[in-house]
Amino acid sequence: MSPREPQVGFPAVVVTAAMLTIVVIIGIGVNLLAELVPTNLWIWLIPLAAAAWFALIGAFFMAARRERERMNRAEEDPGEALRRRINAVNTAFAEAAKLMDDLRRDLDAQQVAREELLAQAEEQQRLLEVNQEQAEKIRQILVGETKATIRAESRKQWLFFALGALTSIPISVAVELLTP
């Protein structure tokens, strides 16, 4: 038998026999239903029977295709099949190595970015501490200046009070002496 001749294997024969059996059963069922079912139900039964028929034909063709593929694989040279599988494995390993290199590069880039972010965070923390120290010094200066200003204003108020009291006494004495 040459490798080009079509071969009918066991699964194709079984599928064909199953299809014929199902067609016969559907035919018998349709005849029985024709006697029992009213006429308007045929509108539903005909498309259902057609769908079942197309499903059976599709199953037959799929089984025939699987059988052909199985036969082609059986006729293939084992050495060629082994070479093809080895090439597939080598390709998969090369792809895995490439992906690992890509992942390693991505991981290194993320590590560098993380270190940069940590350095920036430390710098920001240092600046925050410096700014807090400067803010405290500024607050102390302002509080000190405010207290000094308050004391100076208080002294000025007492000075004006004392001057007012000291000038009002001679003026009132002069008014008393000058008025009859």
Domain extent listing, the chain? 10-75
Position 26 scores a pLDDT of: 74
Predicted confidence at residue 2, as pLDDT, reads: 45
Crossing angle between the packed helical segments 10-36 and 42-75, to the nearest 10 degrees: 180
Q: What region, left, alpha or beta, does residue 33 occupy, with left being phi > 0 and alpha being psi -120 to 50 degrees?
A: alpha
Given this model, what pLDDT does residue 44 score? 67
Listed residue (12, 28, 112, 6) closest to 62, CA to CA: 12
Distance of CA 115 to the CA centre of its chain: 24
Q: What is the per-residue pLDDT for 147?
A: 80
Please report the pLDDT score of residue 51 as a whole number.
80
pLDDT at residue 131, as a whole number? 78
Residues of the chain with pLDDT under 50: 1-4, 6
User: CA 51: distance to chain centroid?
Assistant: 43
Question: What's the sign of the alpha-carbon dihedral 142, 147, 153, 159?
Answer: negative
Q: For residue 133, which phi and psi values (nearest 5 degrees)? A: -60, -45
Residue pair 9/70 in contact by the 8 Å Cβ criterion: yes
